[in-house]
Amino acid sequence: MVSSIYFFGAGRADGDATMKALLGGKGAGLAEMSRLGVPVPPGFTLTTEVCTAFYAGGGALPDGVEEELREAIGRVEKIVGGGFGSTTAPLLVSVRSGARASMPGMMDTILNLGLNDAIVAGLAERTGNERFALDAYRRFILTYAGVVLGVEREQFEEALVTARRKAATALKIDHSRLNNAELERKVPDSALDPEALRGLIARQKEIVLAATGKSFPDDPWAQLEGAIHAVFGSWNNQRAKVYRKMHGIPESWGTACTVQAMVFGNMGDDSGTGVAFTRDPSTGERRFFGEWLPNAQGEDVVAGVRTPHPLSKGGSDDERSLEVRMPQAFAQLMEVQARLEHHFRDMQDMEFTIQEGSLYLLQTRNGKRTGRAAVRIAVEMVKEKLITQNEAVLRVDPGSIDQLLHPSLDPSAPKEILARGLPASPGAATGEIVFTADEAERRAAQGKAVILVRAETSPEDIHGMKAARGILTARGGMTSHAAVVARGMGKSCVAGCSSVSVGRDIVTVSLYDDDGRPTGSKSLKAGDVITLDGGSGRVYLGAIPTVPAALSGEFGELMAWADGVRRMRVRANADTPHDARTARNFGAEGVGLCRTEHMFFDEKRIEAMREMILAGDKHARHRAVDKLLPYQRDDFTGVFREMAGLPVTIRLLDPPLHEFLPQEKAQLEQMAQVLGVSVAEIVRKNEELHEFNPMLGHRGCRLAVTYPEIYEMQVRAILEAACDVAAEGVDVHPEIMIPLTMTQRELTLMRELVDRIAEQVFSEKGRKVSFHFGTMIELPRAAIRAGEIAEHAEFFSFGTNDLTQTTLGISRDDAGKFLGAYVDLGIFPSDPFQSIDVDGVGALVELASERGRAKRPGIHLGVCGEHGGDPASVTFFEKVGLDYVSCSPFRVPIARLAAAQAALNAGTHGGPKATD
């Protein structure tokens, strides 16, 4: 039988870094560190397979695991020279969760396991530190009661407050007016003496007995079994589920469970614990960076209750830096971090504990980082010859560079600074203050931009953090929960903003002048607007304008490497010259979709458009349409100039005509007056145009089948504009695209129309420009009959928005009510309007591509739906071998990077590029 347990310790390990699927990230990292000779307390990992078997067995450990467990504990005992359950040399362990993908803080971990009253006495004797032994026990009971026995935390909080008040009285501190937070500051955990701790422990046990009807378990083996059950069980707690859904982590993976000998950072002033990064996770700068707390256990840093100190010197808190306080341990940590980064060839995020001067590493993993940091780290590591350019391209999550492409605060805008905190996660965010995660979710669902303001966040707040634009916390450092999670989500976060005090429904901000003298305070309530700058840690009052992102430097270098390996072209959906310019700045290689209807909503133009709609006969229609021609021609001229040398695909009018008519009374009257018709006539026209299901109604090329004048005008405008700019010397490549085609015959008619107008225009202008003619494929019938359709079409552009709607028979606008449930229940792996439904819609894309190519070898194929900017969909389009994807201008760099990664993963890089 395969082993259920993998051991590590004393410079050896059964597992290694490649075994994340089996040992979880944490277990694999500990095994690898142990092999490298990095100081790691010994322990062992129960595999994710045991977790899966645990669930399959209805919540019981599989046969044989218990024997392996006893044997493994025996090996740990040998290495540390203690005994599990021994009163003379007690071995305590932590029981830690850890899945294949890191899910920080989402699952449970229990520290200091293996204690009862007798063992505590033994531990006190052996360490000569009774306070420490009792503190370890009361912490253990607290977590164990919550995590394993399911006792509500609240009563324990009360017990702790009572203990603090007693201690305060003993210390002769007047505590009658102190609130709980102030009390904690005056009487920290370290001020609780043995007697206070003993009282607290007794009270905790009473709470457990009252809540569960059973005494707190004294048998270390029973404790261990309970903890392992709870850790496996925590895979399915609510917050872990939410996190998995957000990050696309499969439910089936399960968590591993690591049991490890404890080391103690809370044994006095020569002990401590901290978190370190080999590079700055916020900016990517190559500097060792982190935080620590003296005389503390690991959980204290993450909890954010005490404000941690820096590791290195060089700031305002040098006196309390680890470098100054424990130079030897610091030097050793520096050596270890350099070794780990070099070994893993990526930025590491490490947990460490120092027990009486000796350093131990407790975790290492590839650190989470902002998009900005990801780009900088990848590029710098190439320069340091740590990784290759292709590796760098694969390192950066395309979704994460979104942050770089968005605006930051306008430096010249007037701003009123409210407060300064830590720059925990960059980006500018403006929104209304909300105080709870639930409220954040509620307001965001109503379309409001909100900033979640909390004293500190905990994993229970995750849904609110997801819904908020930004997060502001009063407490906690750069590695607090809020900071880590916000960086992972790419959200703006200012943490540890200590001048802010957060009440139930009010924030009070203490104000200071430039010299730091207090000048008063300001109160804000829910709904007040603030702006965060997560890059500088500043908080401002009100909304502040923003400026566009800078795309040069490291970002430019990485994108150049990506462009060097991708096969597919990337175009943009751009309707105006302005959008076309933005797109080109972002690296678009053409316009994949220029929608013409947007051009008609302008005040002047809509009049002519309405006149056309109301026209009673062909002549009146012609007259109205002719008024539109110059406007339309100007639009195309502008786009062609911006896209000189690159293809521009223009889609002829697509939406149903009623969209252009007003519905409200005042507007109806105005229109009647302008056009000199009666209101009644417009109302009648509105009724005539009314459709039960406009999405499937009189739209797309169906408009031109009945009223060819519109398309005739549009084709004329396109080709006249093309001739005009060609005369200026602009290299112009128009592509005329017919929407909503379903049969060959439709396209025959459209082709005749286009050729007829082209001949007229070219003879009038005395010059010819070459252009392409093609169609959208956005109806299942068109995909199926793609062979015939390709007889006329020189290109297909897959309109995957409509193709998804028509293939699934789901209207995107009406899907909100049930699509969430479809994703929750696994009917769809993800929202098919965001990420292409590979099996259904994708299969049609593939089929149409094959049939199109069979009829017309070399037919040009692209995508212009939302999916063109979605990395997962881009991977699929590379597989089908499309020539290009087209997406909104801001997503062009994301698509370029995604296309490069898709090519590297499919092995299609390095060959010739797709034709443009």
> Secondary structure of the chain: what % helix, strand, coil (to 5)?
50, 20, 35
- Is 481 catalytic? The answer is yes
348 touching ligand ADP, by CB under 6 A: no
Dist. CA 562–CA 788, nearest whole Å = 37
Interface residue with Mg ion among 332, 363, 492, 775 (CB under 5 A) is: 363
The one of Mg ion, ligand ADP, none whose footprint includes residue 109, by CB under 5 to 8 A per kind, is ligand ADP
Interface stretch with ligand ADP, choices 178-186, 254-262, 392-400, 893-901 (CB under 6 A): 254-262
Q: Which is nearer to ligand ADP, 326 or 848 (CB)?
A: 326
The one of Mg ion, ligand ADP, none whose footprint includes residue 272, by CB under 5 to 8 A per kind, is none
Q: Which is nearer to ligand ADP, 263 or 478 (CB)?
A: 263
Distance from the Cα of residue 492 to its chain's centroid = 12
Assess contact for 473 and 284: CB atoms under 8 A.
no
Q: Which is nearer to ligand ADP, 102 or 901 (CB)?
A: 102
Quote the least distance from Cβ 833 to Mg ion, whole Å.
13
DSSP conformation class of 856: S
Interface stretch with ligand ADP, choices 104-112, 660-668, 718-726, 800-808 (CB under 6 A): 104-112
Assess contact for 98 and 25: CB atoms under 8 A.
yes
29 touching Mg ion, by CB under 5 A: no
**Residue 638 marked ligand-binding:** no
Interface residue with ligand ADP among 34, 94, 332, 582 (CB under 6 A) is: 94
The one of ligand ADP, Mg ion, none whose footprint includes residue 400, by CB under 5 to 8 A per kind, is none
Q: Which is nearer to ligand ADP, 111 or 594 (CB)?
A: 111
The one of ligand ADP, Mg ion, none whose footprint includes residue 893, by CB under 5 to 8 A per kind, is none
**Residue 802 marked ligand-binding:** yes
| Residue showing the smallest CB distance to Mg ion in the complex | 802
The one of ligand ADP, Mg ion, none whose footprint includes residue 741, by CB under 5 to 8 A per kind, is none
**Catalytic, out of 864, 867, 887, 909:** 864
Interface stretch with ligand ADP, choices 145-153, 255-263, 531-539, 713-721 (CB under 6 A): 255-263
Assess contact for 636 and 599: CB atoms under 8 A.
no
Q: Which two tokens stand for residue 424?
A: 């925990």
Interface residue with ligand ADP among 68, 346, 351, 883 (CB under 6 A) is: 351
Quote the least distance from Cβ 281 to ligand ADP, whole Å.
15
Interface residue with ligand ADP among 45, 278, 282, 353 (CB under 6 A) is: 353
CB atoms within 10 A of CB 392: 24
Nearest to 470 by CA among 408, 417, 523, 397: 408
Interface stretch with Mg ion, choices 359-367, 374-382, 549-557, 835-843 (CB under 5 A): 359-367
Interface residue with ligand ADP among 111, 418, 580, 864 (CB under 6 A) is: 111
CA angle 683, 688, 693 (to 5 degrees): 115
**Residue 826 marked ligand-binding:** no
Q: What is the dihedral of CA 61, 66, 72, 77, to 10 degrees?
A: 120
Quote the least distance from Cβ 510 to ligand ADP, whole Å.
31
Beta bridge partners of 197: none
867 φ/ψ angles, rounded to the nearest 5 degrees = -65, -20
- What contacts 24+ positions apart, CB below 8 Å, involve 911-914? 911/567, 912/567, 913/566, 913/567, 913/569, 914/567, 914/568, 914/569, 914/882, 914/883, 914/884
Annotate each residue in 137-176 with x if it binds ligand ADP (CB under 6 A) or - if it does not, as one string.
----------------------------------------
Q: How far is CA 594 from CA 205, 572, 590, 768, 912, in A?
A: 70, 9, 10, 22, 27
CA angle 460, 466, 467 (to 5 degrees): 110
**Between 371-383 and 553-565, two packed helices, what is the crossing angle to 10 degrees?**
70
152 φ/ψ angles, rounded to the nearest 5 degrees = -55, 140
**Residue 597 marked ligand-binding:** no
**Residue 799 marked ligand-binding:** yes
290 touching ligand ADP, by CB under 6 A: no
Interface stretch with ligand ADP, choices 209-217, 259-267, 793-801, 866-874 (CB under 6 A): 259-267
Please count the residues of the chain. 916
300 touching Mg ion, by CB under 5 A: no
Quote the least distance from Cβ 280 to ligand ADP, whole Å.
20
299 touching ligand ADP, by CB under 6 A: yes
User: In one letter, which amino acid is 695?
Assistant: M
Interface stretch with Mg ion, choices 455-463, 572-580, 716-724, 778-786 (CB under 5 A): 778-786
Assess contact for 874 and 868: CB atoms under 8 A.
yes
The one of Mg ion, ligand ADP, none whose footprint includes residue 299, by CB under 5 to 8 A per kind, is ligand ADP
Cβ neighbours of residue 624 closer than 8 Å, sequence gap 6 or more: 608, 609, 611, 612, 615
337 φ/ψ angles, rounded to the nearest 5 degrees = -65, -40
Burial of 834 (0-12, 13-18, 19+ CB in 10 A): middle
Can you give 548-562 as a three-state secondary structure string?
A: CCCCCHHHHHHHHHH
Q: Which is nearer to ligand ADP, 101 or 551 (CB)?
A: 101
**Residue 595 marked ligand-binding:** yes
| Residue showing the smallest CB distance to ligand ADP in the complex | 298
The one of ligand ADP, Mg ion, none whose footprint includes residue 799, by CB under 5 to 8 A per kind, is Mg ion
**Residue 870 marked ligand-binding:** no
- Is 864 catalytic? The answer is yes
Q: Which two tokens stand for residue 388?
A: 């290759």
Torsion sign across C-alpha atoms 601, 604, 610, 613? negative
The one of Mg ion, ligand ADP, none whose footprint includes residue 263, by CB under 5 to 8 A per kind, is ligand ADP
263 touching ligand ADP, by CB under 6 A: yes
Q: Which two tokens stand for residue 498?
A: 């200590």
First to last CA, the chain: 56
Cβ neighbours of residue 176 closer than 8 Å, sequence gap 6 or more: none
356 touching ligand ADP, by CB under 6 A: no
CA angle 338, 344, 345 (to 5 degrees): 80
348 touching Mg ion, by CB under 5 A: no
Interface residue with ligand ADP among 35, 96, 860, 867 (CB under 6 A) is: 96
For ligand ADP, how many residues bind (rule: CB under 6 A)?
17
Parallel, antiparallel, or unpaired for β 795-798 and 860-863?
A: parallel
Dist. CA 748–CA 834, nearest whole Å = 33
Q: Which is nearer to ligand ADP, 282 or 353 (CB)?
A: 353
Q: Which is nearer to ligand ADP, 104 or 829 (CB)?
A: 104
Q: Which is nearer to ligand ADP, 263 or 347 (CB)?
A: 263
**Catalytic, out of 175, 481, 658, 909:** 481
Dist. CA 51–CA 47, nearest whole Å = 7
Residue listed under structure tokens 């919550």: 146
User: In one letter, which amino acid is 886?
Assistant: S
Dist. CA 136–CA 113, nearest whole Å = 9
Dist. CA 484–CA 491, nearest whole Å = 10
Quote the least distance from Cβ 298 to Mg ion, whole Å.
7
Quote the least distance from Cβ 281 to Mg ion, whole Å.
15
Q: Beta-strand (E) ranges in 647-712?
A: 647-651
Q: Which of residues 361-380 bind ligand ADP (CB under 6 A)?
A: 362-363
Q: Which is nearer to ligand ADP, 275 or 574 (CB)?
A: 275
Binding site for Mg ion (CB under 5 A): 363, 778, 799, 802
Annotated binding site for substrate: 595, 651, 778, 799-802
Binding site for ligand ADP (CB under 6 A): 41, 94, 96, 104-105, 109, 111, 260-263, 298-299, 351, 353, 362-363
Annotated binding site for Mg(2+): 778, 802
Annotated binding site: 595, 651, 778, 799-802
- Active centre residues (catalytic): 481, 864
